[in-house]
Each structure stands twice: as structure tokens, then as C-alpha cells.
Structure 1
């Protein structure tokens, strides 16, 4: 019978090493042919772009353009911080909304939300130090607070809840203790106190309640001690007449 030799392990290893070298050469060759900061026939930025801080070799931003329009994720760097971007912008191909994320030098998220035409729009989230625990949720319309706003303590407890309209407080503002126990309750209209206000102590006992009108106390206010009314005052308080000094005669 003919002597059939099986391929040795060394030959197989050399074969795969050759394939790896060919692949690496192809990747290197592609990287060398990909040019930065190019424009299309109409002079619009196209392809991968990267700019550096003036007079330095450090990146200022990097991202990809498609015939003058940003696509995908752009990374922005702070001078002196070489590796970690301080902000990223993720462009949406379906609309003009951009997802913006801000970071600390340690890669933790500071805040994140959408922008349209360089203005905040929709829900924005802010984080406590470390970037994991939620600190605040805000809602925006045309770069102004609009809708509900919530503030959280590091343990996740809801500490405050406010409502806005066109950048001004409008609706209720509530300050909480543990387990959503109300400490302070206010009512606003167009940025001013208008409506019911209630103040409680840390045990949940009411201390005072009444109404405001244009930032001034209005109507009957009740003041409590141990859950019982101990004083009522009607606002506005009567104005004290000015005393006119008599002119001295010689």
C-alpha cells in the first residue's frame, strides 16, 4: 500500500499564520488608504473627520460626515484629557434630534438628553457622582423647562417634585421626606405662588395652611399645634396708617 503522509501540526500552524498575516496586511492597507477630513465634489465634508486643538496633537472632536451632514456618533474631548470624551452626540437619521451625553473624566455619565437645533427637548436625566444613581429628571420644550421635574437623593428617594410651563413654575411643587411623606406643598401659576400652600413638620403634622395670590398670602390662614388650630389670620393684613408728626411752633 502507498505510504500516505498526514499533514503535520507544524504545517497546519504555518498555514494559519500565513492567513493571519494576509488579513492583517489587508486591514493595515485599508487603514492607510482611508483619508481624514475629506470633502465631496460639492465641497461638503464627507467621510471621517478629526480636528485637533490648535497648536497641539490632541483630538478636539472626531466623527463622520455624509455629504455635509453629521451621521453616527461624534466624540468631543477636553484639552488635557486625551482618551475619554467629555461629550458625545449621536445623530438621528430619521429626524433632527441629537442624543447628547456628558461625561466626567472617569467616564461616568453626568447628564443625557436630546437636543434639536442646539436646544434641549424632551426628557433630560442627571446623575449623582459616579454616574449610576439618578439625581434629577427634567422635561424641556424649546430649551425651557416644561412639564414634570423630579429630584432624587442618592438612595433613590424622591425628594422634590415640581411642574413647569414655558420655563416657569406652574402647578404643584412638593417637598418630600421618606416614603413620600409631604413636608411642603405649594401651588404656582405663571412662576408665582397662587393657590393652596401647606407646611408640615417631620412627623407629618400640619403646621400651617392657606392660599397665596400673586406671591402674597391671601384670605384665611390657619396655624396648628399638635393638629389643632391655635391661630387664624386674615390676609392681607390691614395697613397701619402713617403717623404724621406735628410741626413744632416757636
Structure 2
């Protein structure tokens, strides 16, 4: 009787329906034979919540995928081994979609907020310091940086204001020192500094360099001089 029960129990998962599609509870394993995932299929379609485990004796849950929306999407949450949420967001298939959130280590404090479209960054990406203050803001289009970029120091001072096009610096850019005072400014063309750039020390203009002809350096209030 015990042997019969054991055989029946073994066949209660990893079944296929008449069309050869996964149906009912399925359990996957690592090469080590430890559990890798567990979830329920309905005629080939994931339903409910799937759990994914790490390859250790303890078998901590490292991710869950919630398919209860029943629209082909899942809400996915990744965990560290102390059950803290690392990141979370929506997936359609294997592609991220919409807002994804990432958290500072072992914390509920938001570290990064990103927006995806068909698996690619698309929209505003914001990075935060542990005190919830904004550290960076950048917009993406189809996975590429596009538009204004801003970087802010922990003391709240602006560190960089620039513009991107097709994932490269393009146009005016200003870089600041740790006190929020201009350190350098100029233009970029296709990711490279071009034209006249100005360099400052403690807010005072000290040098101008034609980045299109880097051998020519101009000290402030002086005539051009070849270096």
C-alpha cells in the first residue's frame, strides 16, 4: 500500500495534457537535484504564482512570478537570501514592461525607478540616494539615452547637466565641482567634445581649449598659445 501511494504521489506533478502541453503542478530541478521552481500550468499556460529557488540546501525563494492577471503578463519579484525585495515589476513573456523598481541593499528604500517597453528602457529612469533624494535623471527611447540628463550630489548640488542623442553626448554640457560651482562647460558632437571648452577653478575661468584642435590651449585673458 505504501509503495502504491508513493508511485501515485510521484505522478501528481509534471503532467502533460492530451495535446502534450504542461498541465497541473510542475516542478523543475537543478543538476544538483535540488528544487529550481514550482508552479501550476493550465494546458500550457502559467497560472497563479510560480516560485523559484536558489541552488542550496536551504532552497530560499529568490523570485516569484504572479500570473493571476491572466493576460499573458506576470508580476515578478526578486529577493535576496534574507527575503528582502531586490527588484520588482511587470513582465510579458521574458520582456520587462512598464515601471520596474530596484531597492537599496537590505532596505525598502527605492534605489532606481525605470520604465520599459518591450524589454527595452523607454521613458524616465531615476536613481535615488538612501535618503530618497534624486541622484540621477535620464530619459530613454528604445533602450538608448535621449534628451536631458541631470546628476546631483548627495549634498543636493548639481554635478552635471547635459544632453544625449542616440545614447551619446550631444550639444551643451556643464560639469560642476562638489560645491556645485561650474568646473567645465562646452559642446559635444556625436559623443566627443567639440569646439571651445571652458575650464574653471573655484568658479574662475582658468583655461579655454578648442577641443576640435586640442593642441591649442587658451589661458584666460591671454592670446592663443600652442602647447
TM-score bin (small chain) = 0.7 to 0.9
Name 1:211's counterpart in structure 2.
Answer: 187
Against the structure 1 CA distance between its residues 117 and 215, is the aligned structure 2 distance closer, same or farther, given a 3 Å change threshold?
same
Name the SS for the 2:61 alignment partner.
Answer: coil
Separation of aligned partners in 1, 2:144 and 2:192? 18
Structure 2: any 5+ residue segments left out of the alignment?
A: 1-8, 217-227
- 1:10-159 mapped onto 2 (5 Å cutoff): 35-54=12-31, 56=33, 58-159=34-135
Higher helix share: 1
Structure 1: any 5+ residue segments left out of the alignment?
A: 1-31, 241-250
Separation of aligned partners in 2, 1:49 and 1:238? 64
RMSD, aligned CA: 2.6
Name 1:246's counterpart in structure 2.
Answer: none
Residues 32-74 of structure 1 show CA distances to partners (whole Å, capped at 9, x for unaligned) of 8x93333334343222222344563x32211111122110100
Q: Does the CA contact (< 8 Å) of 2:35 and 2:53 recur in 1?
A: yes
Against the structure 1 CA distance between its residues 181 and 104, is the aligned structure 2 distance closer, same or farther, given a 3 Å change threshold?
same
Compute the displacement of 1:152 (Å).
1.7
- TM-score using structure 1 length: 0.72
Against the structure 1 CA distance between its residues 234 and 44, is the aligned structure 2 distance closer, same or farther, given a 3 Å change threshold?
closer
Separation of aligned partners in 2, 1:109 and 1:150? 18
Against the structure 1 CA distance between its residues 66 and 230, is the aligned structure 2 distance closer, same or farther, given a 3 Å change threshold?
same
Aligned length, in residue pairs? 207
- 167-176 or 65-74, which moves further after superposition? 167-176
Q: Does the CA contact (< 8 Å) of 1:59 and 1:82 recur in 2?
A: no
Separation of aligned partners in 1, 2:28 and 2:168? 47
Bigger Cα Rg: 1
Name the SS for the 1:86 alignment partner.
Answer: strand
Higher strand share: 2
Q: Does the CA contact (< 8 Å) of 2:35 and 2:59 recur in 1?
A: no
